[in-house]
A = this chain, B = another copy of it.
Amino acid sequence: MPDDNVTIVVFSGELDKALAAFNIANTAAAMGMNVSMFFTFWGLGVIKKGGIERGGKSFMQWMMGLMDRGGASHLKLSKMNMMGAGTRTMKSLMKKYRMPSLEEQIKLAKDQGVHFIACTTSMALMGLEEGDFIDEVDELAGAATYLGLASEGKVNLFI
């Protein structure tokens, strides 16, 4: 049923927003909806491999990469960056209340069939290649692919 499509543009690379995106995605998938996540701009950081081994890139690309140093376990909270402790606090609270970590939510999403798309336009801009991403990524595509999916559903969020 096309109307059951859910699409989420993950533009932000911050931990709190990524958690919100995956909470919605995983709940929707558990309800039987078809969910696609389109990772673009800083959101590419959510699906980057943890390391930063980025040899062979130009200095500017490296600098962009540095400012956006990726991998789900390095994401910072949008409001608490200045304190640093904030991200650790949230991770501790999540552990205390036995909430799944972002890494666990990514795996759960994959198990439930959530479709992961990395935005090719942003990849070019940030000097990222297919091999830079975690294996959960299904497809490299642009905004037209996203819009094709979005126009077949009603729950379309930009996070």
Contacts and interface: CB of A to CB of B under 8 A. Distances in A.
A157 B96 CA distance: 31
A67 B80 contact: yes
Main secondary structure of the interface of A (DSSP, over half): helix
Contacts of A124: 97, 99
A11 B90 CA distance: 16
Contact of A155 (B80, B90, B96, B151): B151
Contact of A150 (B96, B148, B154): B154
Contacts of A52: none
B40 A67 contact: no
A93 B60 contact: yes
A60 B93 CA distance: 7
Interface in A85-99: 85-86, 89-90, 92-94, 96-97, 99
Interface string A118-159: 000100111100000000000000111011101101111111
A42 interface: yes
Contacts of A61: 93
A46 to B, nearest CB: 14
A119 to B, nearest CB: 9
5 tightest A-B CB contacts, nearest first: A27-B143, A157-B158, A150-B155, A154-B154, A155-B156
9 contacts: A9-B20, A30-B144, A42-B79, A60-B89, A64-B93, A93-B127, A99-B124, A147-B155, A157-B157
